[in-house]
Chains A and B, each alone.
Chain A
Amino acid sequence: MLGSHCGTIEHMSVGRSPDVTRRYARILGFAYQMLGDAALAAQATNRVCLRAVRSPGDDLTFWCSAVVVIHDYLARGFLVRPLMPEGQHAALLSALQELAPAERMIVLLRYHEGLTIPDLATVMETDHVTIRRVLAEARGALLDRIGARNAL
C-alpha cells in the first residue's frame, strides 16, 4: 500500500509481518470495545503493533502488550461510550459496554479471543481464582442485562 506512494521501500515487509496483519483486526475490535472510539482504538492498535514489531512474540505476548496499552488509555481517562450497537448482537454488545472495563476485558479475552484461564491470569497479572470469580460475575451480569433469564 505504502510502497506505491514512496517508491523503493524494501523494508516495508517489516510492517507487513503476517503476525501483525493477522492480529490487526482482532486487536482493533478489542480496543474499540474497550475504548469506545474508532480513532482511539486505531491509535492504541497501532501502538500495540509497533511494540510487536519491535519485540516479536507469541499470541500471549501480543495480548499482554494490548492490555498494557489499553490500561494506559483507560488510566488517562480515555473512555468513550460507543454508538448504540445495531444488528444481530446489539443487546449483547450493549450489555458488554455496561460492564466495568476490567470485567469487559476479561470476558472479551476469554470468550472472543479464546485465552485460557492461566493465560488470562498472566495477561491481567492476577491469579486464577480472581479470573474465575470475575468471569462468573460478569457472565451473570450479562445474562441479567440481556434479559435472558426473564426470557425463559
Chain B
Amino acid sequence: MRCEFVEVLLSDYADNVADERGRRIVERHIQLCCSCRTDLLLLQRLAHQLERVALLPMGVSARMPRYQYELERLLLARERARRRRPLMAVAVVLVLLLEVASVWLVLLLAHGG
C-alpha cells in the first residue's frame, strides 16, 4: 500500500486509536517502508512534546492573578445585579401602583367636581 493511503492510519496508530484492521495494515506497511517507520516514531515524539509544552509564556503566566481578579470582579458585579433584581421589580410595581392611584384620584376629583 502506498504511503499516502496509510497517513491517517499511521496517525491513529501513533495515538493508539487504530482499530484491529488499521493496526494490521500499519504494521505490515512499516515493516516494508522505512520512511513511514521513521514518521511513526516522530509522530509519537511529537504527541509527547505537545502534551508537555507550556502554552503560556512566563510574562503571561505572571499576569494570571490579575486576570483572575478581573473574573472575580465580573462575577461580583453580576451577583450584585442579580441580588438587585427583586428590589428593582418591587420598585417598578410600586411606581406603577402610584401611577394608577394618581390617575384614579384625578378621575375621582374630576367627576366629583
* A is bound by B: yes
Enumerate chain A interface residues (CB-CB to B < 8 A). 1-2, 6, 9, 11-12, 14-16, 20, 24-25, 28-30, 32-33, 38, 41-42, 45-46, 49-50, 53, 82-83, 85-87, 89, 92-93, 107-108, 110-112, 114, 116-117, 132-133, 135-137, 139-140, 142-143, 146, 148-149, 152
For A30, A87, A135, the residue with the greatest tally of chain B CB atoms inside 10 Å of its CB is: A135
Within 8 A of A (CB), among B27-62: 38-39, 42-43, 45-47, 49-57, 59-61
Whose C-beta in chain A lies nearest to the C-beta of B75? A15
B53 and A112 contact, CB distance less than 8 A: yes
Report A-chain residues with C-beta under 8 Å of the C-beta of B52: 89
- Chain B binding surface, main DSSP class: helix
Least distance between B38 CB and chain A CB atoms (Å): 6
Q: Looking at the complex, which one of B17, B49, B71 makes contact with A92 (CB distance below 8 Å)?
A: B49
By a CB distance below 8 angstroms, the chain A residues around B51 are 111-112, 114
**Set of chain A residues within 8 Å of B11, measured between Cβ atoms:** 132, 135-136, 139
Q: Which residues of A contact B55 (CB under 8 A)?
A: 29-30, 32-33, 108, 112
Residue of A nearest to B48 (CB): A111
Known A-B contacts A112-B53, A132-B12, A136-B11; A148 and B42 likewise in contact (beta carbons under 8 Å) = yes
- Check B26 for interface membership: any CB of A closer than 8 A: no
Judge whether B38 and A50 touch: CB under 8 Å: no
Q: Which of B69-97 contact A (CB under 8 A)?
A: 69-76, 78-79
How distant is the Cα of A45 from the Cα of B61 in the complex, in angstroms? Answer: 13
Q: Who on chain A is nearest to B59 by CB?
A: A38
Choice from A1, A53, A87, A136 contacting B10 with Cβ under 8 Å: A136
B56 touches A32 (CB 8 A): yes
Cβ–Cβ contact A2 & B73, under 8 A: yes
Q: How many residues of B contact A (CB 8 A)?
A: 41
Q: Are A92 and B50 in contact (CB-based, < 8 A)?
A: yes
| Distance between Cα atoms of A148 and B39 in the complex (Å) | 9
Q: Which residues of B contact A140 (CB under 8 A)?
A: 7
B76 adjacent to A6 (CB under 8 Å): yes
Instruction: Report 26 cross-chain contacts, Cβ distance below 8 Å, ordered by A residue.
Output: A1-B68, A1-B72, A11-B79, A12-B72, A24-B68, A28-B56, A28-B60, A28-B64, A38-B60, A41-B60, A42-B70, A46-B67, A46-B70, A89-B52, A89-B54, A92-B53, A108-B50, A111-B46, A111-B51, A133-B8, A135-B15, A139-B11, A139-B46, A139-B47, A142-B46, A146-B46
